[in-house]
């Protein structure tokens, strides 16, 4: 283990992505450590919805980058994962519409604007 250039802890989507990108950057001795099995936690339970509207800029950047990765998955990874870009609609009962359309939307819009105003991650 002491000869590894990097050790990634956790075999969820983030750990797997970091592992892949470190190898893509040219590192050769990267170890992925997982205490149970790959995608055994939140990743394995995900609904698979990919949305870009989050209230934190970094999350928006990760989501937008991920969309590009998923849309090119067959060419880059050699496997069709059935990715469909068909949009997303949030529904809320009328009594909850105000907070949802107010604070949440404006913070998500701000994060989106910040993520869009600087070069791609
Ligand atoms: C029911 C559900 C539905 C979801 N739906 C969506 C969705 O539609 N769209 C979306 O974008 N997100 C969704 N999410 C959120 C998304 O799944 C998570 O944000 C994402 O999977 C987190 O990935 P991760 O790699 O950070 O963590 P995890 O997938 O939790 O992976 C962490 C891994 O680290 C391992 N680990 C922890 N500690 C150690 C240690 N000390 N040593 C070794 N290994 C360790 C764990 O065993 C685990 O495998 C959903 C989450 C849930 C629970």
The residue contributing the CA closest to ligand 1 atom 33 is 10
- What's the 17 CA to ligand 1 centre distance in angstroms? 12
Contact 68, 117 (CB under 8 A): no
The residue contributing the CA closest to ligand 1 atom 26 is 14
pLDDT at 46: 94
- Residue 111 CB-half CA count within 13 A: 19
Quickly tell me which residue has 């991920």 as its tokens.
66
Boundaries of every domain in the chain: 1-46, 47-121
The residue contributing the CA closest to ligand 1 atom 35 is 10
Q: Tens of pLDDT along 63-106?
A: 999 999 999 999 999 999 999 988 877 777 776 665 544 555 66
Q: Tens of pLDDT along 6-65?
A: 999 999 999 999 999 999 999 999 999 999 999 999 999 998 888 888 888 999 999 999
Q: Binning pLDDT at 50, 70 and 90, where does residue 111 land?
A: confident
pLDDT at 12: 98
- What's the 13 CA to ligand 1 centre distance in angstroms? 7
């Amino acid at each position: 283990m002491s000869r590894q250039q990097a050790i990634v802890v956790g075999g969820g989507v983030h750990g797997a992505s970091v592992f892949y990108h470190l190898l893509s950057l040219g590192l050769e001795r990267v170890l992925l450590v997982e205490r149970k099995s790959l995608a055994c936690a939140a990743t394995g339970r995900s609904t698979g919805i990919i949305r870009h509207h989050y209230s934190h800029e970094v999350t928006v950047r990760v989501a937008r980058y991920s969309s590009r990765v998923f849309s090119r998955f067959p060419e880059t990874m050699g496997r069709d994962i059935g990715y469909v870009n068909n949009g997303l609609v949030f529904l809320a009962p009328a009594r909850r519409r105000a907070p949802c359309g107010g604070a949440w939307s404006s913070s998500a819009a701000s994060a989106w604007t910040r993520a869009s105003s600087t070069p791609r991650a």
